[in-house]
Amino acid sequence: MKTKNKNIFKQIAGTAAIPAAAFLIVLILCSARGVKLFETEGNWILFFRAAASVMLTTFALSLNLNSGRFDFSIGSVSLLSSVISASICTSLGLPTIPMLIISIAAGAVLGMVSGLIYVIVKLPPIIVSLGVALFYEGLAFAITNGYGVSFVANTELTSFPSVLNYVLIILFGLLIFIFLFDHTKFGYEYKALVSGQKVAINTGIKEVPNAILCYTIAGALMGVVGFIRATQTGTIQMSLNFGSIGVMFTAFLPMFIGGFIGRFCNEKIGYLLGAITTAFISLMYARLNVDASIQQIVTALILVCFLIYLNNENKVIELVTLKQYRNKKTK
């Protein structure tokens, strides 16, 4: 019984440690400057928007990256799907929900095309995804004649940002993702392929349809991210020459954090908690008006320190254990 309780405690502590520590640090830093972390509704909206978009981006990135497929095109899928949905909705006068649905559908199709190109041309995924990123960026540019899409004055489409809407996106996104990857045949096959591709293929699992489906799901997720970003300001700015790749990098820190937390709970919940951790940091940057250059340095330092810890975890544990042993011995 004691061991069971100890395990449950260890799981809860391991799951909550990083986001709780991040929250405490952020709270202390804000208090030291006399700033309330959550002062207005706008602060809550920023927090949940950041958590939602980073969580979905992390899902989309990890989905292919765990299988060894580095996908640089997810940012461009997000850009192009939002351009398609916003262009259709502004020209037909459609409201928010159809825009979200069109964005998801467009993202899924674009992701599927990306996956098909990968399995057909059989080039390394990095090269394919770079080509696809350039192609989609160019397509978005061509569709809008370079002007992007602006619907700042469309109060219907720009009314989406609210705490409730972002919480709903987080919940639905998480539940659907958990269902797809933990409770379907596709999910089991995906896990089998991730853990041992050759063995999985020998058991009859088809790698190609699984890969295409992964790209399609990642595309649909990025469609939602594109929708969130577009409805945030009512404008979609164009990106060229790999300008859309930056979106992908927002997901690295939460992905590593999620991977760590995944030892204590479901990995997908780990990704959500990773996204929440980065959302706390983003909110702190905004509340304390931190300069962009300092933000970059701090974020890079956190990422590097975390990776150093992950790579040397055994040595750290060994050191701590050795110290405890010596202390006991001295006593």
- Rule CB under 8 A: which residues touch other proteins? 40, 42-43, 45-46, 49-50, 53-54, 141, 145-148, 150, 152-153, 155, 158, 161, 232-235, 237-241, 250, 279, 282-283, 285-287, 289-293, 295
CA atoms within 13 A on the CB side of 274: 31
Q: Which is nearer to other proteins, 30 or 112 (CB)?
A: 30
Least distance in angstroms from the C-beta of 237 to other proteins: 7
Three-state DSSP at 264 gives: coil
Longest Cα–Cα distance of the chain, Å, equals 79
Residue whose pair of structure tokens reads 């030892």 in the numeric block: 263
Nearer to other proteins, 117 or 228 (CB): 228
Least distance between other proteins and beta carbon 9 (Å): 33
Q: Which C-beta is closer to other proteins: that of 237 or that of 312?
A: 237
Structure tokens at 202: 């020998």
- In terms of CB distance, is 194 or 290 closer to other proteins? 290
Residue 312 Cβ vs other proteins, minimum distance, rounded to whole Å: 30
Shorter beta-carbon distance to other proteins: residue 7 or 233: 233
User: By C-beta, is 23 or 188 nearer to other proteins?
Assistant: 23
- Cβ-proximal residues to 72 (8 Å cutoff; 6+ apart), any chain: 126, 129, 130, 132, 133, 242, 245, 248
Q: Are 114 and 132 in contact (CB under 8 A)?
A: yes
- The angle at the Cα of 107, spanning 105 to 111, to the nearest 5 degrees, equals 120
Q: Least separation, in Å, of the C-beta of 152 and other proteins?
A: 4
CB of 156 to other proteins, least distance (A): 11
* 3-state percent breakdown (helix, strand, coil) of the chain, nearest 5: 80, 0, 20
Rounded to whole angstroms, the Cα distance separating 98 from 232 reads: 16
Least separation in angstroms between residue 121's CB and other proteins is: 25
